[in-house]
Amino acid sequence: MADTTKAKLVYLDYAAATPVDDEVFAVMLPYFKDNFYNPSALYLKSKSVRTNVEAARKAVSRIIGAKPTEIIFTSGATEANNLAITGIFNDHPGSEGLYSSTEHEAVTKPMLEKQVKSTSISVDKSGKVDLIDLRNKISFKTVLISVIYANNETGTINDLAKIKEIIISELDDRKAKKNILPLYLHTDASQAANYLTLDVNRLGVDLMTLNGAKTYGPKQSACLYVNRNVKLKSFISGGSQEFGLRAGTENVPNIIGFAKSLELASNLRSKESSRLKELQHDLEEELLKLNKNIVINSKSKKRLPNITNFSILGQDGERLVMELDERGIMAATGSACSANKDTVSPVLKAIGLSDREINSAIRISTGKYTSKDDIEYLVQVLSDILI
């Protein structure tokens, strides 16, 4: 086994987790000890903490073009997705749901575990939702459609505004037929926040999940945007926090850190997107030169600038990731949440890849600490491995 103690360390799995930014960490620190007070208490110190929590809520709402009362802080994106999906179905028993076939498990599992009929929507070879299939699968009982904003394995970006147009047309038909059942659009925007607009009005979403663990904030920090016209039934009881939708004492440090991370991401969005797009272009050009058996799986023209998914035909993806790790490079075969399961990636399967292509796939996801030298080192190491 290679000696990894002297290897250069290169982290290329930002889609799985991002390090906490120094500025984020700095604003969080006081709330662990000096300002530890419960925001719900009545004394002045607690009221001061409550004021800061509400300032964080206001900051998040401003970034996404919402109202502060439409922001629900949660313990992570998984909880936010569950609150959106379970909350809708609990309020509309006997209804139906649709979800794209490239969703994260945090969406597909609550969709399928509820006692409702949930159906997947097909995607094209680039991973974008098939709008015709979506339109055809909406029934008079459908109340929720969940479509990921930007995919965590391929980086493919969905056109949420076009999906909203289909929903509006369906609602017009329902009105004419005196069907009063609502139809909501939810999106998991966890991977999108660093690089894409989050304006909920432009996107046309009714519910949106954001994840601090992907924006250089703390893990287990997130929020769910809930349009004021959407009614949810909470599944966590025990208190009236978060407008009655999420019982439990607020995790103040994480809330403060999450809001700061989102603010920094918003400020750096344009600059970082351009920089990482150049690195992505360089990486993919070099990969295709490196070996004739390398195929780029991220084919969409509209995709995140920090994700490249490729296959090296004839190789085993997991073995390659371990060999890269021995040389100090941290990469992935797919979603970190399902990496330890001996199953074929449902995302890559949905876009039409064969088992051979999927089993040899590697995901490289870059971030704000990734340099050109890191990319050159990756290409060099892959060249050495494949000799």
232 Ramachandran zone, left/alpha/beta (phi>0; psi -120 to 50): beta
**Would residue 186 count as lying in a domain?**
yes
**Would residue 4 count as lying in a domain?**
no
Candidates 2, 41, 288, 337; catalytic one: 337
- Structural domain span for residue 179: 22-265
DSSP 172-216: HHHHHTT-----EEEEE-TTTTTTS---HHHHT-SEEEEEGGGTT
Q: What is the pTM of this model?
A: 0.94
| 223: annotated active-site residue | no
> Is 97 within a domain?
yes
Residue 81 pLDDT: 97
Comparing CA positions, the residue from 299, 303, 312 lying closest to residue 357 is: 312
Q: Are residues 16 and 26 in the same domain?
A: no
pLDDT in tens, 114-148: 667 899 999 999 999 999 999 999 999 999 999 99
Q: Do the beta carbons of residue 216 and residue 368 sit within 8 Å?
A: yes
Please indicate, yes or no, whether residues 283 and 370 belong to a single structural domain of this protein: yes
The residue from 265, 288, 309 where one domain ends is 265
**Is 112 part of any domain?**
yes
1, part of any domain: no
Residue 3 forms part of a structural domain: no
Instruction: Tell me if 168 sits within 8 A of 150, measured CB to CB.
Output: no
| pLDDT given for residue 1 in this prediction | 42
Domain with residue 201: its CATH number is 3.40.640.10
pLDDT for the residue numbered 5: 45
Number of structural domains (the chain) is 2
Pairing of strands 117-121, 142-146: unpaired
The predicted structure's pLDDT at residue 238? 85
Q: Provide the pLDDT for residue 116.
A: 78
Which of 265, 288, 320 is the C-terminal boundary of a domain? 265
Same domain (yes/no): 45, 75? yes
User: Residue 237 has what pLDDT?
Assistant: 83
- Give the Cβ contact number of residue 357 at 10 Å: 19
Question: Residue 196, CB half-sphere, CA atoms under 13 Å: how many?
Answer: 26
Backbone dihedral region for residue 242 (phi beyond 0: left; psi -120 to 50: alpha; all else: beta)? left
> For position 240, what pLDDT does the model report?
87
Of 238, 224, 139, nearest in space to 189 by CA: 224
Q: Do 183 and 286 fall within a single domain? A: no
Q: Do 210 and 332 fall into the same domain? A: no
CATH of the domain at 307: 3.90.1150.10
Same domain, 34 and 46: yes
Residue 118 lies in a domain: yes
Low-confidence ranges of the chain (pLDDT < 50): 1-2, 4-5, 336-339
Q: Are strands 207-211 and 184-188 parallel, antiparallel or unpaired?
A: parallel
Q: Considering the domain boundaries, does residue 84 fall inside one?
A: yes
